[in-house]
Amino acid sequence: MQIIQQILFIFLATFAIFLFSRQVKLIRRNIKLGRDETIEPHPKRWKNVLLMALGQKRMFDKPLVALLHFAVYAGFIIINIEILEIILDGIFGTHRLFAPTLGRFYSFVINFFEVLAFLVLLSCVIFLIRRNILKVRRLNLRELNGWPRSDANYILIFEIVLMALFLTMNASDKALQLMNYSHYADLSTNFFVSGFITPIFTNFSPSVLVGIERTAWWLHIAGVFFFLNYIPFSKHLHILLAFPNTYYARLIPQGKMQNMPEIQREVLYAMQPETAPTEAPAEDPKKFGAKDVFDLSWRNLLDAYTCTECGRCTASCPANQTGKLLSPRKIMMDTRDRMEEIGRNIDKNGSFQDDGKTLLHHYISAEELRACTSCQACVQVCPVLIHPLHIINQLKRYLVMEESNAPQEWNSMFSNVENNFAPWKFSPDERDKWAAEMD
């Protein structure tokens, strides 16, 4: 019977890892749909990983929520170290493999895990209340209707169940230790949290307790494998992608926009005609801005996959606060959805076949883009250094420079800048007349 369980466990683990690795390849393929962008190595990148991804520095502008989130995150990372023991137990048919070797230190580690498990459970309950009873505004905006809202609730409930199974497994294990039953009697592990619920199990027979402990063990590890394969389809992919995303974050000053060399040259030639070449070299036609995900960089697409959908960017957006359609979170979600749609198109046809859709217009409207003031608020508050404004600016550039799609007020300003080198309708030669009139 034991060998059958070992074979079943190995099969389950192998199948789960296979499915996960296949989905990771698809996500990598989708990110590489974007054009190339060179990222230079720099020591500050590792600092960003430590402070932003691991330390969650930007979360602590709201200390209570940050502590709860940190408890869930730390619990997820640290408790999964215990998964190593469960996996080895499943492969070798042992029970708490590390306990005899680590001795009292094993009890300390397990108790630490138990405290984290309780904090994760408590934090997830509080987050469910905030989302569904208190209805925090940024967690209930319209872009979260449907799957995004359900996804967040499913994950919270799932984590509660996983932690409950972990504590139940330990409590029944302790009850069997107290009964000196079979190999359970070889251990003497105190469980700090589950010890409080152990008395519930002391009235059961040993055979029933073994059934409870084994069922909780199997459900816990099966749940972990299921969660592993759920992550790529969920906003919780940020658990994994926050690390590369913060590493590859742009290190230029936040307010500095990336200009187009072609346009910069034209402005220079207009202001200093003598610098213009007499014979312009032949160049391929340039495409300005971005219309679809193919026109964005892989770095933009990594941003979209990393989005946590926390809504801090949207809550900080002055345009959104005044009732405009713009929501930086929706921009990132739409970019990710378009990537996924293109990925399914490629899977179906072998290569991308034009589907008559684009990111601009079909997912993100001109009205949303025009509401953006480029104030950088969304960039400033993102916990994992996502840059929605870069995508917005690329789409706006395409609207204006490729489609000539801009309000009349903007066109008048563009014309003045082109002819007068300023937004106002004054000749450059007359621009200082106001100062002469002060004499």
229 shares a domain with 267: no
Domain that holds residue 158: 2-31+62-236
Indicate if 190 and 295 belong to the same structural domain: no
The burial class, CB within 10 Å (0-12 / 13-18 / 19+), for 433 is exposed
How far is the C-alpha of 210 from the C-alpha of 201, rounded, in Å? 11
Q: Does 188 lie in the same domain as 91?
A: yes
Q: Are 311 and 378 in contact (CB under 8 A)?
A: no
Q: Is the pLDDT of residue 124 over 90?
A: yes
Q: Does the pLDDT value for residue 429 go beyond 80?
A: no
93: left (phi over 0), alpha (psi -120 to 50) or beta: left
Same domain, yes or no: 217 and 272: no
How many structural domains comprise the chain? 2
- Residue appearing with tokens 């509080």: 126
pLDDT in tens, 352-375: 999 999 999 999 999 999 999 999
More reliable by pLDDT, 280 or 42: 42
User: What is the secondary structure of 245-284 as a DSSP string?
Assistant: HHHT---S-TT-----HHHHHHHHHHH-GGGS-SSPPP-P
* 203 and 309 housed in the same domain: no
- Please tell me the predicted confidence (pLDDT) of residue 188: 77
- Which pLDDT tens digit goes with each residue over 385-404? 999 999 999 999 999 999 98
Per-residue pLDDT at 190: 81
Same domain, yes or no, for 287 and 375? yes
Percentage with pLDDT > 70 across the chain: 97
| Domain-located, residue 54 | no
Give the pLDDT confidence of 146-179 residue by residue, as tens digits: 999 999 999 999 999 999 999 999 999 999 998 9
Asked if the structure places residue 252 within a domain, the reply is no
Q: Is residue 147 part of a domain?
A: yes
For range 177-205, the mean pLDDT: 88
Residue 422 binned pLDDT confidence (cut-offs 50, 70, 90)? confident
Q: Is residue 358 part of a domain?
A: yes
- Which tokens sit at 265? 């040259």
**Which pLDDT does position 165 carry in this prediction?**
95
Question: What residues contact residue 44 under an 8 Å CB cut-off, 6+ apart?
Answer: 251
pLDDT digits (tens, 9 = 90+) for 231-273: 999 999 999 999 999 999 999 888 888 788 777 777 777 777 7
Q: If you average pLDDT over residues 207-226, what whole number do you get?
A: 95
Q: In 3D, which of 45, 22, 44 has the Cα closest to residue 299?
A: 45
Compute the distance between CA of residue 276 and CA of residue 260 in angstroms, rounded to an integer.
17
Q: What percent of the chain shows pLDDT beyond 90?
A: 68
My answer on whether 285 and 150 are in the same domain is no
417 with 271, same domain: the answer is yes
Q: Which of 201, 236, 271 is the last residue of a domain?
A: 236
Q: Are 151 and 272 contained in the same domain?
A: no
Q: What is the CATH number of the domain that holds 85?
A: 1.20.950
- Mean pLDDT, the chain, whole residue set: 91
In a domain, 287, yes or no: yes
pLDDT computed for residue 117 by the predictor: 92
Quick one: pLDDT at residue 439? 62
Look up residue 191 and give its two tokens. 């469980």
